[in-house]
Amino acid sequence: MDNKNEFKPYIPAEKVTAELTVTSIIMGVLLAVVFGAANAYLGLRVGMTVSASIPAAVIAMGVIRILMRRNSILESNIVQTAGSAGESLAAGAIFTLPALFLWAAEGKMDKPGILEITLIALIGGLLGVFFMVPLRNALIVKEHATLPYPEGTACAEVLLAGEKGGANATTVFAGMGFAALFKFIIDGLKVVAGEVSYTIKGFKGTIGTQIYPAVMSVGYICGARISSYMFAGGILSWMVLIPLIVLFGENSILYPGVDQTIGEMFAEGGASAIWSSYIRYIGAGALAAGGIISLIKSLPLIVTTFTGALKSIKGAGANSTERTARDMSMKVVLIAIAVLTLLIWLVPAIPVNPIGAIIIVVFGFFFATVSSRMVGIVGSSNNPVSGMAIATLLIATLILKLTGSTGAAGMASAIAIGSIICIVAAISGDTSQDLKTGYLLGATPKKQQYAEVIGVVASALAIGGTLYLLDKAWGFGSEQLAAPQATLMKLIVEGVMDANLPWALVFTGAAIAVVVELIGIPVLPFAIGIYLPVQLNACIMVGGIVRLALDKLCKKNKDAVVNDGILFSSGMIAGEGLVGIALALLAVFGVDKVIDLSKYVPATVSNLGGIALFAVIILTLLKFTVWKKRVNENE
């Protein structure tokens, strides 16, 4: 007897309840756009995104159960299915597409049009969903006992807990509100510093922290271990590598810095100038090596997953009479994949030739299979999407160069291919997590797959405008929007096409990544830490320390306290992301200068105010976690 017959979902197969309703579709579309925009902003700032499934589920429960007085857990599940698609599509898009904007800023090509961005995101997202349909039976049903799908299982537990009430939704909305207020004070009114730093005289090392609720929330959600790896990478780059570069090269002019000596560069721009000219290439090398290492380590799992999935595709249940086993029609899925493949080749707005279209389909299905299986074991947060994108870019760029597609056209084509593959991997991983949630709850797979398609379409239509808005306000590669992953992809394509990278720095970063891997430290978070400013890493570390403290000190209701913290932090990420988008709009229209009060606040007061506000941010997190539980326990 297989797992399908043994397992009994929360809602039995013979019971029919509301799922894909007008309410769930509208809410899912709104959340897909909201979380897509928020995660786009977050990912461009820190190089990481967070799962939107749980906060989307909590918001759905709060609205459907409390405000609308309806009681359908499967309807809430549809909302989170569509809503979480926005976060995954945004992750795939921002890791690659800003490279096109960076090249446009350098005068190498025209800026990509919104139609081009939308079509690339839409095709990648739809392929991610359709590739996952024939894999559901193999990965979700037959391997139910062996693939836990951490986020999918956690989301199901949150929805089941929501049957008892909507208190969790209050926590998410509170996080959104507080973060929106803090973000507006820091980056809108600018009455307190968003970053506090100190450079040690005679040593040239720089240390400090940012003062942002979303960045701290990333640390809380990731936990102390991952946060500490990132912080260690930041310490290495800002307290070791930068001081050494200044010490040994103070009177030298070294490529890629060509106009000033290193000493002059440091005197004018501080440690940030050294980071921009040298450290980011070391970080890029570490990131590239880390992505490739994670992919190599996964090769046995990749081969097993891919061969097993191919054997079991024929088991997909499109014609099953049992409600909980009905997938989208395989005929429709195959026709859709064929049409999308032709569109990749034939639509002029997508800069991909027939060879590129073939690469996308082959690599797309391969990495969709890999991603769907791997997130079942390690979770979506640890899915090496960037590693898959790096591998795709290296191979695709080499093939394009060998076939004569070089220059700006070849580089744009390589990024378009890498972007679609990146989105495919991200969406297929998200879809598999959502289908796991639905399997546990007793949802209809076909309706979830439709919801995922709806979420992809909605977020794809919004992502182009979001990228244009953020680029217009601050510019990719700036201090506000470092776009670390996209910058890395840009460097990889340029390195293969033009061979103009400072390879000594890149290989130094790669060697550091190898050493880190050999001593047993997860290389990707450490490499991200090398690449990003230490102030940002320190802010993430603070969130990790708060999480560690709650883990150690809360003996009673520990899981509930930690979960409340994750919900509140998810809300803070969404709230800050939305205000970040709003501030970008104000910057485009020049209103940001009107509300800017920084000229009335002395620098010392601004720095002290920033530290004080950071303490308040931490206190609000404690208020909605450990102190909230203490109050409840005393009632």
Rounded CA separation 379/199 (Å):
38
Asked if pLDDT for residue 282 goes beyond 80, the answer is: yes
Q: What is the mean pLDDT of residues 280-296?
A: 78
403 band by pLDDT with thresholds 50, 70 and 90 = confident
Percentage of the residues of the chain whose pLDDT score is greater than 70: 88
**Once rounded to an integer, what is the mean pLDDT over residues 322-338?**
87
Task: Determine the Cα–Cα distance for residues 486 and 32; give it in Å rounded to an integer.
Answer: 22
Specify the range with the lowest mean pLDDT, choosing from 48-52, 304-308, 428-432, 459-463: 304-308
Q: Mean pLDDT across the chain, nearest whole number?
A: 84
How far, in Å, CA of 606 to CA of 127, rounded? Answer: 49
Q: Indicate if the alpha-carbon torsion angle 209, 176, 379, 384 is positive or negative.
A: negative
The pLDDT of residue 575: 82
Going by pLDDT thresholds of 50, 70 and 90, the confidence category of residue 45 is: confident
Is the pLDDT confidence value at 634 over 60? no
Q: Say how many residues make up the chain.
A: 635
Percent of the chain with pLDDT over 90: 32
pLDDT of residue 164 exceeding 80: no
Copy the structure tokens of residue 290: 């880390």
Check residue 531 and give its pLDDT: 79
Q: Give the residues across from 199 on adjacent strands.
A: 206
Q: Which whole number is the average pLDDT over 531-557? A: 89
Decide which of 151 and 32 is more confident: 32
pLDDT higher than threshold 70 for residue 317: no
What the block records as the tokens of 446 is 């076909």
Confidence at residue 633, expressed as pLDDT on a 0 to 100 scale:
46
**pLDDT at site 631:** 45
Asked which of 27-31, 571-575, 594-598 is least confident by mean pLDDT, the reply is: 571-575
The pLDDT of residue 182 is 95
Residue 238: what are its φ and ψ, rounded to 5°? -95, -20
CA atoms within 13 A on the CB side of 157: 10
Is pTM beyond 0.85? Reply is: no
Q: What are phi and psi of 550, to 5 degrees?
A: -65, -40
CB 453 within 8 A of CB 103: no
Tens of pLDDT, residue by residue over 230-277, are: 899 999 999 999 999 999 988 888 877 667 899 998 988 888 889 878
54: confidence class by pLDDT, cuts 50, 70, 90: confident
- Which pLDDT score is estimated for 366? 78
Report d(CA 23, CA 38) in Å as an integer. 22
pLDDT at 302 over 70: no
Burial class (CB in 10 A: 0-12, 13-18, 19+), 362: exposed
Lowest mean pLDDT among 279-283, 311-315, 447-451, 459-463: 311-315
pLDDT of residue 546: 95
Banded model confidence at residue 176, pLDDT cuts 50, 70, 90: confident
For the stretch 481-508, pLDDT in tens is 888 778 878 888 888 887 776 888 888 9
pLDDT classification of 37: cutoffs 50, 70, 90:
confident
Whole-number Å distance between alpha carbons of 92 and 204: 37
Bridge-partner residues for 591, per DSSP? none
What pLDDT is recorded for position 613? Answer: 96
Copy the structure tokens of residue 524: 């990707």
Give the model's pLDDT for residue 55: 76
Which pLDDT score, from 0 to 100, does residue 308 have? 59
Instruction: Give residue-wise pLDDT tens across range 355-386.
Output: 888 888 888 887 787 778 767 765 565 565 76
3-state secondary structure of 199: strand
Across residues 202-221, what is the average pLDDT? 89
- Per-residue b/e over 570-594, b at no fewer than 16 CB within 10 Å? bbbbbbbbbbbbebbebbeeeebee
